[in-house]
Structure 1
Amino acid sequence: MIETHAHIYSDDYTDDRNAMLSRAWEAGIEQIWMPNCDHTTIDGMMQLAERFPGQCLPMIGLHPTYVKEDFENELAIVEAWLDKYPFIAVGEIGIDLFWDVTFREQQEKAFLYQCKLARKHDLWIDIHSRSAFWETVKLIEDFGDSKLTGIFHCFTGTLEEAQKAIELGFKLGIGGVATFKNGGLDKVLPFVDLEHLVLETDSPYLAPIPYRGKRNEVAYIDLVAQRVADLKQTTKAHIMETTTRTALRLLTKNNPHGLHENSH
């Protein structure tokens, strides 16, 4: 399986990061895709990419909740890194209107600029759109490049929202919320073709049942896969195979990490 979104560089793993990663490899995870937050998370992320080449694959981007007055300086750092390292994607980027709308205008500018960087480097984008799905959709439509693609990470929306994301050419990142009793995805996933889904944990956040409220980790993606299999009335093996193939298709054809669609 491919874990398409995990913050494994987080301080939450300071005491047992190696053990956590060992559990992930034992669970059958072949790759962990790491989204960036801002300049403070780059070093830890890149150290993991260096330690586990071909397994821990980094993205670069400015997370919307890290957008402040100095966002242009942060974007300059993102741009400089894109010019010198073969990242798999620009992310995580987007709009977050859940906690604070103070920097909404700056979030929008940062998102559109990073979309431009993604197209320049022929990369996909990893979208964070908490309490801001339709606002994010409008920006993508305003950007107006049909070749822009990627993942709506931590998708928890309605069937209408799922269909809109797919119409725009994006995949849906499904994580621990799928296992929540009132998560809502039980009313959505049965009606979405499996080829549009990829799996994630968003570790260390949003642990699936029965670990809800505790620290999440990559190995728990197995529980997400089983939940999706139950909702789709198919086998976990089929979920694993299809979502892995879909994830690998997102990687650029001239992939710097030597990964191919049949590598799983």
Structure 2
Amino acid sequence: MIDTHAHIYAAEFDHDRDEVVQRALQNGIEHILLPNIDLDSIEPMLATEDAYPNVCRSMMGLHPCYVDENVKQTLDTIHSWFEKRSFIAVGEIGIDLYWDKTFRKEQEWAFITQLNWSKEMDLPVVIHTRDSIEETLALLSNEQDGSLRGVFHCFGGTVDEAKAINDLGFHLGLGGVSTFKNSGMDKVIPELAIDKVILETDCPYLAPVPHRGKRNEPAYTQLVLNRLAECRQIDVQQAQKITTLNAKKLFSL
């Protein structure tokens, strides 16, 4: 399995990161993909990748919740990293209108700017949306020239939203939310295009049932896989094979 979205460089793992990685390996995790969020996350993220070079792979991007009036300078710094080392994706990027709409225009500008980086560098993008699916799809549709590809991570939307995302050439990242009883995902998952589904944890957040409310970790990817197989009434090994292949293709692993 591949955990395609994990913040194991975060402070929540500072006291036991090695044990977390070892548990992941023991539970069949082959790769852990690390999305960047802001300028402060770059150093711990790259240090984590360097500590586990055969397991962890980093992305580079600016998360919408960290967009502010200094967005241009921040993006200049983030962009400079692509000249220093290789990254598997531009991410995580997107639009978040849940917490604060103050910098909405700046968020949109940052999103489009980073989409253009992905075109220039031929890299997939990892997209974060919260209370912004329509806005994000509209912007993405304007920018899609046939070369953009990537994933809407932490997908918890409707069948129609999933189809709109797939129609733009993008994957869906399923995580802990898919195991929540009140999420409605038990109705959505059977309708998804299985060749466009990948697995993630978004740890330390959104731990799947039965760990909901506790710290999430890559080893729990198995619980998301089990839920996918259960909802689709397919063999767990089959679901594992398909989602792993999807992730390997998307991120060129």
> TM-score, with normalisation over the residues of structure 2?
0.98
Shift of 1:211: 0.7
Match of 1:64 in 2: 64
Match of 2:42 in 1: 42
Cα distance between partner residues in 2 of 1:157 and 1:47: 34
Matches within 5 A, 1:145-224: 145-224=145-224
Match of 2:248 in 1: 248
Shift of 1:166: 0.3
Match of 1:4 in 2: 4
Match of 1:255 in 2: none
Larger helix proportion, structure 1 or 2?
2
Letter aligned with residue 114 of structure 1: Q
Check conservation: 2:64, 2:95, Cα contact below 8 A: yes
Check conservation: 2:48, 2:56, Cα contact below 8 A: yes
Cα distance between partner residues in 1 of 2:144 and 2:30: 34
Deviations 1:109-151 (A, max 9, x none): 0000000111111101000011101100011112132210100
Letter aligned with residue 64 of structure 2: P
Shift of 1:189: 0.9
Cα distance between partner residues in 2 of 1:193 and 1:76: 37
Shift of 1:196: 1.0
Check conservation: 2:144, 2:168, Cα contact below 8 A: no
Work out the number of aligned pairs and report it.
253
Matches within 5 A, 1:114-133: 114-133=114-133
Match of 1:30 in 2: 30
Cα distance between partner residues in 1 of 2:67 and 2:184: 29
Shift of 1:193: 2.3
Deviations 1:188-236 (A, max 9, x none): 1101121110000000000000111111111011100000000010111
SS at match of 1:244: helix
Letter aligned with residue 97 of structure 2: L
Letter aligned with residue 91 of structure 2: G
Cα distance between partner residues in 2 of 1:145 and 1:108: 18
Cα distance between partner residues in 1 of 2:146 and 2:123: 13
> TM-score, with normalisation over the residues of structure 1?
0.94
List gaps (5 residues or longer) in structure 2.
none
SS at match of 2:210: coil
Shift of 1:67: 0.4
Cα distance between partner residues in 2 of 1:77 and 1:195: 35
Cα distance between partner residues in 1 of 2:93 and 2:108: 10
Q: Indicate the RMSD between aligned Cα atoms, in angstroms.
A: 0.8
Which 4+ stretches in 1 moved above 6 angstroms? none
Cα distance between partner residues in 2 of 1:137 and 1:214: 32
Letter aligned with residue 203 of structure 1: C
SS at match of 1:33: strand
Letter aligned with residue 5 of structure 1: H
Cα distance between partner residues in 2 of 1:151 and 1:31: 17
Shift of 1:52: 1.5
Letter aligned with residue 186 of structure 1: D
Shift of 1:168: 0.3
Deviations 1:11-39 (A, max 9, x none): 00111111111100100100000000011
SS at match of 1:126: strand
SS at match of 1:182: helix
